[in-house]
Amino acid sequence: MEKVYITGIGKYIPKKVLTNHDIEKMVDTSDEWITTRTGIKERHVVADDQCTSDIAVLAAKEAMADAGLKPTDIDLIIVATITGDMQFPATSCVVQRKLHAKNAVAFDISAACAGFPYALSIASEYIKTGRFKHVLVIGAEALSRFTDWTDRGTCILFGDGAGAAVVSNVPGKTQSEVLSDYLGTDGTHVGLLNTPGGGSVHPATHATVDQRLHYIKMEGNAVFKIAVKSMTEAVNGILQKNELIIDDIASLIPHQANLRIIKAVGKAVKIAEERVFVNVDKYGNMSSATTIVALYDAVRSGVVRPGDLVVLVAFGGGFVWGATLIRW
């Protein structure tokens, strides 16, 4: 089996900022409520002429430059997204064209907020078997296009952004190595978090648009509890699988949906608060992009240092959850 290295990372966050005060003008909410209930202060949204593949490409270019690779060196592109450019084809095909990565095969995966750990798991298996040498793994979302800006229960939470990692069979500038992953799925709660309209159940009609079915729907309170339980299981599961204890982990990098969820998971797995990375205040929940952008910020700010054992953990609609163990 080949080893799996992260040889480059990149991110792109759209320039336009939407603060809690901006949202106060749109729905019946307050900066105080959003801050205390979620930890979010602001999020970014794509420009009118930007779509998911555009921001994916910008994150990917930085990751490839970081890895010292050209687009033609990439064998496979996986885009994790729930807000693709179109229903089909895959956004990864658009990314492949925009990057001129003509040697790469490309597909998307839909694993909502767990998109990055899921995509990284797929990439790792392809590297381990020797099938591919360099895989571009991207998490990219334009959630603002699917957010109901009249629903205060959801519109306060989401933001747009993209993150990317190059995963290779040889080390890059650092020895950052993907060691293991842990994935879980429970399809019994599909109704708690979804975008019901526009698929084969409710194809787009005037009625589905009038009923706002093409926007994200969530039973926030129920999702909150399952998120804490599932991410706790994923962290404990990956530690057990690798015969580690929580004190071996230098940084826990959780999905950034809500600061209260992050704190509850940290408490449940008994890790000191200062070892749990948080950037939800700046970006909100960027679904598939969240964990890779958090890893990027943790590395670039010096929180994660070479040699550190790091656990990424995420949870999202499906429900799906996953953790990745990395030695940075």
Q: Which helix (H) or strand (E) holds 9?
A: strand 5-12
- Contact pick of 73, 214, 224, 308 for ligand UT7 (by CB under 6 A): 224
- Per rule CB under 6 A, is residue 234 in the interface with ligand UT7? no
Q: Residue 168: beta bridge partners?
A: 5, 134
Which of these ranges, 41-49, 82-90, 139-147, 251-259, lies near ligand UT7 under the rule CB under 6 A?
A: 251-259
Contact pattern from residue 141 through residue 180 relative to ligand UT7, giving x for each residue in contact according to CB under 6 A and a dash for the rest = -----------xx--x------------------------
Of 183, 181, 189, the C-alpha closest to 319 is 189
Quote the CA–CA distance of 6 and 167 in Å, as a whole number: 5
Residue 107 or 224 having the CB closest to ligand UT7: 224
Catalytic residue among 93, 113, 194, 258: 113
Catalytic residue among 44, 255, 258, 279: 255
Of 145, 134, 136, the C-alpha closest to 82 is 145
Which residues between 83 and 112 bind ligand UT7 (CB under 6 A)?
A: none
Of 285, 284, 310, the C-alpha closest to 296 is 310
Q: Quick check: is 255 catalytic? A: yes
For 311, the token pair is 């656990």
Residue 98 or 152 having the CB closest to ligand UT7: 152
- Per rule CB under 6 A, is residue 196 in the interface with ligand UT7? no
Residue 48 contacts residue 328 (beta carbons within 8 Å): no
Which residues between 19 and 38 bind ligand UT7 (CB under 6 A)?
A: 29, 33, 37-38
Contact pattern from residue 281 through residue 310 relative to ligand UT7, giving x for each residue in contact according to CB under 6 A and a dash for the rest = ----x-------------------------
Q: Quick check: is 221 catalytic? A: no
% helix, strand, coil for the chain, step of 5: 40, 25, 35
To the nearest whole angstrom, how small is the minimum distance from the Cβ of residue 74 to ligand UT7?
Answer: 29
| Contacts with 154 (C-beta within 8 Å, 6 or more apart), sequence order | 147, 148, 215, 216, 217, 218, 220
Residue 113 or 276 having the CB closest to ligand UT7: 113
- Per rule CB under 6 A, is residue 315 in the interface with ligand UT7? yes
Residue 133 contacts residue 167 (beta carbons within 8 Å): no
In a 3-state reduction of DSSP, which class is residue 8?
A: strand
- Per rule CB under 6 A, is residue 184 in the interface with ligand UT7? no
The alpha-helical segments, DSSP class H, found in the chain are 20-24, 31-38, 52-67, 91-99, 115-128, 206-210, 220-241, 259-268, 280-283, 290-300
Q: Quick check: is 113 catalytic? A: yes
Catalogue the active-site residues: 113, 255, 285
Q: Which residues contribute to the site for ligand UT7 (CB under 6 A)?
A: 29, 33, 37-38, 113, 152-153, 156, 193, 220-221, 223-224, 227, 255, 257-258, 261, 285, 315-316
